[in-house]
Structure 1
Amino acid sequence: MITWRAGVVEQVGTSWPGAVELTVALDNPWSDPSLPARVKALAYPRLVGDLAVGRRVLLNVSALSRGLGTGGYALVVAPGDGVPADPPPTVGHLVKARYTPLQAMVLGVDDQESEHHDVMRDADDLDGMPVVVADLHSALPAILVGARLEAARSGRPVPRVVYVMTDGGALPAWFSRAAAGLRAAGWLDAVVTAGQAFGGDLEAVSVHTALLAARHVLDADLAVVVQGPGNLGTGTRWGFSGVAAGEAVNAAAVLGGRPVASLRVSGADPRERHLGISHHSLTTYGRVALLPADVVVPLFDPDDAELTALGTRVRTQAAALVEPHGRHRLVETPVGADVRTALGASPVRLSTMGRGLDQDAAAFLTAAASGIHGAALLHAR
């Protein structure tokens, strides 16, 4: 189940909060001679300590050897020539990535030892806070683009946005360069890691407590719920990690929030099941989300013939999700040239399934539309 390698750190490369890239020379060759003897590895210093040039490391190369979407990384499991120093004494008893070799002990926002325990013990309502829910992590920057654009259009303050990261993809929040870049740019105010995910500004047991913490501890105006990088899918109706987006809609609605369903849309995916509205969104919002949400359908620029044709397909597919055929509310949001220009100014790279804004504009325009609507809801509260 695990393909192991050991090697020596030859170079310490780019770092961002919680993570650092390394170049590692492997001790043993691969069975496939086309694979490199030196690999790009990712280390999380809070788990494995600081690693300098010359240090030996143990690597998990399972996904790398299979060419799966890990960002092209081997993952550092531990130093191979000693153990990291003990962490400083702390409180908290939440264990995440439970019963794996790298399980981490963290202080939960609702832990008995937490300074926020009293608030979280009594918290039970989101007070109508808009909650934008998406399937793919790549939607996060575009949603924020939309929310900020709506604030600029209306002349209102930029909303305070908290990202709730679920555990369907990467478990460490540190893996997300997008989240780190959005934080550095001042676009994202905080990250709450829910379930088995960890490494956020606050740690939560569930999506429910993560949302309550976003509202009552972090004073969020708007929350965005989406898994970390690395969607898992099997090409089947139910076998994909993004199905949890439907459960997030239910959580937001049960807690008195205003759920906004961000559709996964593509005009460039070679797979028929993902063209227009992905079957992932149709299943997630059509079958898993049992409480009503605002389903945001983009109205593309009518001067763009290709997007206009795609928009017709999207509206036809969305009809199954919204009233009178489905349980959700249809919201049509224009996404013209100004939205595309705003997306082009994102402080982090836009990429979904390896495609950028120029290759699959519909994906990012649709996510931005949900951010526009989420921010607009703040004015209606």
Structure 2
Amino acid sequence: MIHWRKGIVTAIRSTRPGYTEVDVELDEALPGTDVRSIRAVAYTDAVGQPRVQDTVLVNVSALAKRLGTGGFGLIVALPDALPADPPEGPGHLVKDRYSPLQTMVLGVDDQESQHHSTLAEAENLESMPVVVADLHSALPAVIAGIRTVDPTLSVAYVLSDGAALPAPFSQAVAGLRDADWLTGVISTGQAWGGDLEAVTIHTGLLAAKHVMDADITIVAQGPGNLGTGTKYGYSGLVTGEHLNAAALLGGRPVGLLRMSNADARGRHFGISHHSLTPLSEIARPGMTVPVPDFSTLTEAERAEMDPDPDVVAEPVAGQLSQLQMHDLVDVDLTGLWDALRSSPVRLSTMGRKLPADAASFLAAAAAGRCAAGIARS
């Protein structure tokens, strides 16, 4: 199940809180190749801080399988430089449970947490808007849309456990935090490494409202969406349940439409089936679903996009008929293109940057604008 290698750290490529990327020279080449020099990632809170010349044990399965997503090694241990034991303290939530790298954290809803009594009593989000997205790449675009309405709105991010589990893996989150676009991160389920840890999406949402005092919360998985090309076999399917969770708790669920005007795969062109399936079959009726109005784009803006988002107008019109059980809200896109271009972090989805898949980012920004309007109403 795991391709193991031992190696030596030859260089430090980059570092940020909880995350360090290095170059490693392996003692044995990757399977079926003569490749020995690889890029590898260390989650420093879990394995310690690697240094040049350190020996490392590395999981190289993603490289062995030639995966585009996750195409790097994962440092599992520094056998000659093990980190010190964590300090004694409260917390008994186990994440990545029963794997060799399970970690123990203090949960915001843990009995030992200072916030336990708050969450024991909290049962309502008090109409807080909750934007639910399939792809992690939507996160900065949603916040860009929010900020066109009111840049002072406090935004929390609830990280689900459908993709990357360690919160420090997200370069976007680090950049958004540095730019003060994001108030904080709550990692839920098996995910870990946020500012707060929670057992479920439900307690994560309640913590966003009652501990972080967020005006708006965004729920999305981390980087590394998993899909199999089947109707129900993809990690974003749970967005329907996340919308239901927000509704159950008295929030205002906002279902972000995953859209593309550039994806060559028919199931993702226009509105992706990754949005259509959970919204039409799993989410309870009555969700707010923002629909970007591409006719409100200027000619100057369109000139920067290739292809023009209008190429999806006809298929989208037909697809929306599947979502009539929800509250479909047309969103004016005026000013959103400039807002997206001002993002403090790089915008990229499935390897496509902003001009190459404008519909994707405009749909996400439209959801943010819609949620901000709800928050201010």
TM-score, normalised to structure 2, is 0.95
Letter of the aligned partner of 2:73 in structure 1? Answer: A
Q: CA deviation at 1:71?
A: 4.1
Gaps of 5+ in 1: 152-156
Counterpart Cα distance in 1 of 2:373 and 2:66: 41
Q: 1:193 to 1:233 in 2, by over 3 A?
A: same
Matched residue SS, 1:359: helix
User: Is the 1:69–1:230 contact (alpha carbons within 8 Å) kept by the matching residues of 2?
Assistant: no
Counterpart Cα distance in 2 of 1:67 and 1:183: 32
Aligned equivalent of 2:332? 334
Counterpart check, 1:268 vs 2:265? no
**C-alpha deviations, 1:264-294, integer Å up to 9, x for none?**
1001111011000001101011111124211
Name the stretch that deviates more: 283-292 or 159-168.
283-292
**C-alpha deviations, 1:358-380, integer Å up to 9, x for none?**
11111000000000000010122
Aligned equivalent of 1:345? 342
Counterpart check, 1:184 vs 2:178? yes
Letter of the aligned partner of 1:329 in structure 2? Answer: D
Aligned equivalent of 2:109? 110
Gaps of 5+ in 2: none
Runs of 4+ more than 3 Å apart: 302-306
Aligned equivalent of 1:307? 309
Letter of the aligned partner of 2:15 in structure 1? Answer: S
Aligned equivalent of 2:166? 172
Letter of the aligned partner of 2:100 in structure 1? Answer: P
Counterpart Cα distance in 1 of 2:40 and 2:230: 31
User: Is the 1:147–1:371 contact (alpha carbons within 8 Å) kept by the matching residues of 2?
Assistant: yes
Counterpart Cα distance in 2 of 1:108 and 1:315: 44
Aligned equivalent of 1:154? none
Letter of the aligned partner of 1:278 in structure 2? Answer: S
- Which runs of structure 2 are paired with 1:216-231 in the superposition (5 Å)? 216-231=210-225
Counterpart check, 1:359 vs 2:361? no
Counterpart Cα distance in 2 of 1:356 and 1:180: 19
Q: CA deviation at 1:311?
A: 2.7
Counterpart Cα distance in 1 of 2:318 and 2:365: 20
Letter of the aligned partner of 1:116 in structure 2? Answer: H
Letter of the aligned partner of 1:318 in structure 2? Answer: L
Aligned equivalent of 2:26? 26
Counterpart Cα distance in 2 of 1:270 and 1:299: 22
User: Is the 1:298–1:334 contact (alpha carbons within 8 Å) kept by the matching residues of 2?
Assistant: yes
Counterpart Cα distance in 1 of 2:68 and 2:210: 36
Aligned equivalent of 2:16? 16
User: Is the 2:261–2:311 contact (alpha carbons within 8 Å) kept by the matching residues of 1?
Assistant: no
Letter of the aligned partner of 1:310 in structure 2? Answer: V
Name the stretch that deviates more: 366-375 or 298-307.
298-307
**C-alpha deviations, 1:101-146, integer Å up to 9, x for none?**
1101000001111000110000000000000000000000000000
Aligned equivalent of 1:47? 46
TM-score, normalised to structure 1, is 0.94
**Aligned partner of 2:373 among 356, 361, 376:** 376
Matched residue SS, 2:98: coil
**C-alpha deviations, 1:157-183, integer Å up to 9, x for none?**
521000000000000001100001100
Q: CA deviation at 1:82?
A: 4.6
State percent identity of aligned pairs: 53
**C-alpha deviations, 1:314-351, integer Å up to 9, x for none?**
232122112xxxx2101010224x21111111000001
